[in-house]
Chains A and B, each alone.
Chain A
Amino acid sequence: MEAYLFYIMAAVAVVSAVYLIFEKNPVYSILYLVMILISIAVLYLLLGAQFIAAVQIIVYAGAIMVLFLFVVMLLNLSAKEELKDALSFQKIPAIVMGIVLLSAIGIILRSKIPLGKQGEYTSAYVHDVGNTQLIGKLLFTKYLLPFEITSILLFIAAIGAIILAKRK
């Protein structure tokens, strides 16, 4: 059952990703991106990471993508305006890098995946304590410093955005 759900959601994500790139209309591209984000949220749920799944939808699908949509609608980009490719020199390197990526994936698929030692947080333990509770606890004990540094980074970014917007 879970395996089938995984294949379905993974297929939805990959197909949406392909459409996202080939779609001419930016509004449709955004909606395909939302579909990718939601199907990945379902994959998180299948892995037992409910918190990440919910946050993925709240933050990415619910807030950031709506802002994207807002900007696209304000600029009123339409499919008819052929967007000029400003970075046309990228084409050949992109193809080369794509081939490298595909071969790397091929090598990984053919080789055995090394399994490490089982960690402290088994899925049974996480299920017992609760996913959100564990993340909260770890963020404010073991990973307090990185967590606070991240918050300062985000704070600086927010200030920067306000200064840039106020400049004119």
Chain B
Amino acid sequence: MDKEFFIYVLISCIKILIVFGVIQFMIISMIWIERKVMAHMQVRLGPMRVGPHGLLQPIADGIKLLFKEDIIPERADKLLFVLAPAMSLVPALITFAVIPFGDKVQIFGYSVDLVITDINIGFLYIFAVGSLGIYGIVMAGWASNNKYSLLGGIRASAQMISYELTLGISLIGVIMLTGSLSLVDIVNAQAKLWNIVLQPVGFFIYAISALAEVNRTPFDLPEAESELVAGYHTEYSSMKFAMFFMAEYANMITVSAIAVTFFLGGWQGPFLPPVAWFMIKLSCCLFCFIWLRSTYPRLRYDQLMHLGWKFLLPLSLLNILITGLVMVLKG
């Protein structure tokens, strides 16, 4: 009993470390990929100087940010100003605790689930944690004592609350089809057919809401540089700024992983090992983020609210209704 418990704790810790490490690595590589892909889409070369094809650019950026002077504004609220970057990064990282990235594997005779923990309220956990991520941004905006930051923070809170609603409701169709809130069950249920085939509208709504939820172009109003300097992180410098940057990328990875799990069959796929399939699908989703960023201009604020409340919300409710109707008719 005791030994089993010890092994369980050990395996969990190893899994957490690996997932954490992989996410950090993905964040770093995403920064390079984003600059490179966007550059090529705009017929530029992008970073070329540091390493072959600028491969070492993220490391150079990281070192630069580490050695920059860390400025805290005189009239800022010191405690919250320091806490805010951590408050926005942590929720993005701990969502991964319930996302399955592979099938069961046998290691040294122990069967290990490739998910940090499978809880029967996985879906609710994701949204509980995700809904806390907003505090970091809002606090940063308020604590900086700067009007641009404050406006960015206010915009972020309004936007994220509006889109969190449709984000949650768009996934309910999948929950209804699966009959379980556990993410492992949801992936297992997609062995034959991916949910995107059954829930195309749900996926469409999820994709738009996720884009708005992580404040990426065309929904990057909280940090709109042409109006708000840099929005909520105007006053941040050095590693604190880097943490906001990392939080944005971590959030992107998280919502992509949720999209893969709920709509794209999770780790299911032929020939290749499950983990490889998960990473391939995740990379495709992340590429779409970059693609959209270099394609669309930013929305106006009223357009953003109209889209969320008058189009996406009714559509997502209709989606639930139709899903339920079809399920009842098919028995």
**Is B194 in contact with chain A by the CB < 8 A criterion?**
no
Give Cα distance in the complex from A53 to B132, angstroms. Answer: 14
Taking CB atoms, residues of chain A closer than 8 Å to B168 are 58
**Is A98 in contact with chain B by the CB < 8 A criterion?**
no
Query: Which secondary structure characterizes the binding site on chain A?
Result: helix
A63 touches B153 (CB 8 A): no
Q: A50-B120, A57-B132, A132-B120 in contact; A62/B127 too (CB < 8 A)?
A: yes
**Is A66 in contact with chain B by the CB < 8 A criterion?**
yes
A73 touches B121 (CB 8 A): no
User: 0/1 per residue, B117-128, Cβ < 8 Å to A?
Assistant: 001110011011
Interface residues of B in 127-170 (CB under 8 A from A): 127-132, 134-135, 138-139, 141-142, 150, 153-154, 157-158, 160-161, 164, 168
Query: Which secondary structure characterizes the binding site on chain B?
Result: helix
Q: A27-B142, A62-B127 in contact; A67/B120 too (CB < 8 A)?
A: no
B131 touches A57 (CB 8 A): yes
Give Cα distance in the complex from A63 to B127, angstroms. Answer: 11
B124 touches A63 (CB 8 A): no
**Is B181 in contact with chain A by the CB < 8 A criterion?**
yes
A34 touches B135 (CB 8 A): yes
**Is A13 in contact with chain B by the CB < 8 A criterion?**
no
Q: How far is the CB of B180 from chain A (nearest CB, A)?
A: 9
Taking CB atoms, residues of chain B closer than 8 Å to A34 are 135
Report the count of interface residues on B (CB-CB < 8 A): 29
B158 touches A55 (CB 8 A): no
B142 touches A67 (CB 8 A): no
Q: How far is the CB of B61 from chain A (nearest CB, A)?
A: 32
Task: Please name the residue on chain A nearest to B143 by beta carbon.
Answer: A27
A70 touches B121 (CB 8 A): no
User: 0/1 per residue, A53-75, Cβ < 8 Å to B?
Assistant: 11101100111001101100110
Give Cα distance in the complex from A76 to B135, angstroms. Answer: 17
Q: How far is the CB of A71 from chain B (nearest CB, A)?
A: 10
Q: How far is the CB of A130 from chain B (nearest CB, A)?
A: 5
A66 touches B135 (CB 8 A): yes
Q: A27-B142, A67-B161, A70-B158 in contact; A54/B128 too (CB < 8 A)?
A: yes
Interface residues of A in 140-166 (CB under 8 A from B): none
One of A27, A74, A76, A131 near B121 (C-beta < 8 A): A131
Instruction: Give me the interface of A with B, judged by CB distance under 8 Å.
Output: 27, 31, 34, 41, 50-51, 53-55, 57-58, 61-63, 66-67, 69-70, 73-74, 76, 130-132
Sorted from nearest, which 8 A-B pairs have the closest CB atoms? Answer: A62-B131, A54-B124, A57-B128, A50-B121, A54-B128, A70-B157, A58-B128, A54-B121
Instruction: Give me the interface of B with A, judged by CB distance under 8 Å.
Output: 77, 80, 119-121, 124-125, 127-132, 134-135, 138-139, 141-142, 150, 153-154, 157-158, 160-161, 164, 168, 181
